[in-house]
Homo-oligomer: A and B are copies of this chain.
Amino acid sequence: MAFRLRPSERGFYPLFTQAAENIVVAADELARLVDAEAPDRPTIARRVKAAEDEGDRLTHEILTKLNSVFVTPFDREDIHRLASALDDVCDMIEEAADRIVLYRLGDLPAGIAVQVDVLCRAAIRTAAAMPGLEKVSELHQFTIDVNSLEDEGDAAYHATLAGILSPTEPITDPAAVLEAIKLKEVVDTLEDAADAFEAVANTVESIAVKES
């Protein structure tokens, strides 16, 4: 688009960047939580929750801004979708942290740290891409990168889940079955978070297509 946007309309880009940077914070805290001993986890989970609250605040600010300006840098529906998709990522990360604490899980399978590492890298990649909404240029690479990270997360998810539900030694203890179910919920939630990043990337690409 050839005409220049006024500052108020450009205000969406910094907000999206902030929302993505906030996801980096949430994902990093989740990585710390997964790495920590069980007794230290509730404190770290509260920091993940604080990031989720900040994410809610930013989502609310974006949607309020959306409702108060006449001209938007791209389609209103796309702004709504992008804000919601970023919010979903943050919710899923918080839900994973919450479940690990709530279920009083002890040692976690190594695959969980691999899944969380993928989330951390996807968050950094997303935060780097958000200012690009203004330039469009690097956004196609962003989608490719996030899809590639999603494939990596998917492989980690499948391997971890197989280890939990179909271990080499058959499960003979009822308490171990319950433990397996709890772990399954955590790895499912982490996979949902990876999928939510894909939704962010798909929305960004649909914006890029319209602008190009």
Interface residues of A (CB under 8 A from B): 63-64, 67-68, 77, 102-104, 158, 161-162, 165-166, 170-178, 180-182, 206, 209-210
Sample of 20 A–B contacts (CB below 8 Å): A63-B209, A64-B209, A67-B210, A68-B209, A77-B77, A102-B162, A103-B166, A104-B166, A165-B182, A170-B175, A172-B174, A172-B175, A173-B174, A174-B174, A174-B176, A174-B177, A177-B177, A177-B181, A178-B180, A178-B181
Q: In the complex, A158 Cα to B94 Cα: how many Å?
A: 14
A104 CB contacts on chain B under 8 angstroms: 162, 166
A177 CB contacts on chain B under 8 angstroms: 174-175, 177-178, 181
Q: Contacts A67-B209, A67-B210, A158-B102 known; A171 to B175 CB distance under 8 Å?
A: yes
Q: Which of A103, A171, A174, A206 has the most CB of B within 10 A?
A: A174
Contact A102 B67 (CB under 8 A): no
Q: In the complex, A183 Cα to B158 Cα: how many Å?
A: 17
Q: In the complex, A206 Cα to B60 Cα: how many Å?
A: 9
Contact A63 B174 (CB under 8 A): no
| A59 and chain B: residue at smallest CB distance | B202
A102 CB contacts on chain B under 8 angstroms: 158, 161-162, 165
